[in-house]
Amino acid sequence: MIRGSAAALTVTCADCQRRLRVAIASLRLSLAQRRGHLAGVLEHVRFLDSPLAGQSDEDIALGSDLRGRAEALAERHGWGAEPVISPALSTMAGTQVWLGEFDDAERWLERTAQALQTDRGPIMRLVLHHTTAILHACRGRLHEAHEEFSAAEQLRSQLEGSHALASQVTGWRLATLARLGRPGEARAALAALDDDRASSGEILNAHAVICLADGDPVGALVAVQPVLDGTAPVIGYVTASEAHLLAGLAHRDLGDQRAANQAAERALALAEADRLVLPFAMTSSRELLEALPPHATAHAALLAGILDALQGAPRAPGDQRPSPDAEELSPGELRVLRYLPTNLSRPEIAGELSVSVNTVSTHVRSIYAKLQVTDRSAAVQRARELRLLAAGRTR
């Protein structure tokens, strides 16, 4: 349809022709991103490159060379800060987030924001807020992520009809709210959704996150089952990969490490083709992946790459919050905290402390919230910085 419309237009100005081609290519890029189709992103970046620079149809790898060429093209034609190029810029940012290249993603997002300064339309600003929120969530900046998801959702409400990002924006906002230690608010918002939206895979994944935050891993498994068996509608395979990881986290909380490893392996299988990092970062699954024996996976290289990406996602300067005092952790939380540097699983920690697994999970979630971290490794590092482990532990 876009191709036919372009052919019907008579444009005599060579510069206008190039601008039209860029706009069409940018729209295609944006559509491929929203569909969760990375191969389409590559195809349409090639399309963007060809009419502007007269390059051949040779393959262009999605790496530093492509990023450099795309940036040079925008600068060469004076479109680096024009709204017409914003879909391409935001697509590059989103693709880098998906691949775990968080620093590069931040740079592309900054350029997108500059290009949108004179664009008052809600659609591209929605995409900007959405991608920025994802980047914040992947880097553990949950407060900022929730603000950006909320802004995206507000812009979505201004659009007529449904939007491709609607379920994803809402689902990740609710999941972020639950991860911030506010599962009650998230559950209330979930209950307010209509049945069609609530049955989408993205919302079902959010429901699973809420259940995990509430200490209900069985409920989490029930929530993601329609995503896992393919009966729930989803935007793309990112949602399915995320569902497997949430199932793995639930199995781990239930003490079934074998099932947790199997779920992580399925998520890796889905991510292998595009070397996808996004769902692992969004679900804070580093601890789940670290428990997967490298010799027992068919995706050892991808596993190592994802762990490196998750390990190398630091907070940005100025994003540090006040350090919590040791007194903010309860005695029960401190007892659990002192086992986190060990290799003991949550059921094993529960056995050591003679408490239930749910009690340990509740304490762990509270520890993460109070230390303002999103996984076990970060909690241990933060606890050491605060000298909360100085009193020692049983083993």
Q: Is the pLDDT of residue 135 over 90?
A: yes
pLDDT computed for residue 173 by the predictor:
95
Q: What is the pTM of this model?
A: 0.64
Burial of 46 (0-12, 13-18, 19+ CB in 10 A): middle
Per residue in 322-378, pLDDT (tens digit) is 444 444 788 888 889 888 888 788 888 888 888 888 888 888 888 888 888 877 877
pLDDT computed for residue 304 by the predictor:
87
Across 302-326, average pLDDT: 60
CA angle 382, 385, 388 (to 5 degrees): 80
Q: What are phi and psi of 287, to 5 degrees?
A: -65, -40
314-352 exposure pattern, b = at least 16 Cβ within 10 A, e = fewer: eeeeeeeeeeeeeeebeeebbbbbbbbbeeebbbbbbeb
Euclidean distance between CA atoms 362 and 36, whole angstroms: 34
Q: Is the pLDDT of residue 18 over 90?
A: no
Evaluate whether 72 touches 48 at the Cβ level (below 8 Å): no
pLDDT computed for residue 186 by the predictor:
94
pLDDT computed for residue 313 by the predictor:
45
Tokens of 184: 């009650």
Query: Which has the minimum average pLDDT: 177-191, 256-270, 280-294, 306-320?
Result: 306-320
Euclidean distance between CA atoms 136 and 138, whole angstroms: 5
CATH number of 326-385: 1.10.10.10
pLDDT computed for residue 116 by the predictor:
78
366-390 exposure pattern, b = at least 16 Cβ within 10 A, e = fewer: bbbbbbbbbbbbbbbebbeebebbe
Residue ranges per structural domain of the chain: 1-95, 326-385
Per residue in 80-92, pLDDT (tens digit) is 455 556 777 777 7
Tokens of 11: 């444009």
Q: Is the pLDDT of residue 292 over 80?
A: yes
Euclidean distance between CA atoms 367 and 360, whole angstroms: 10
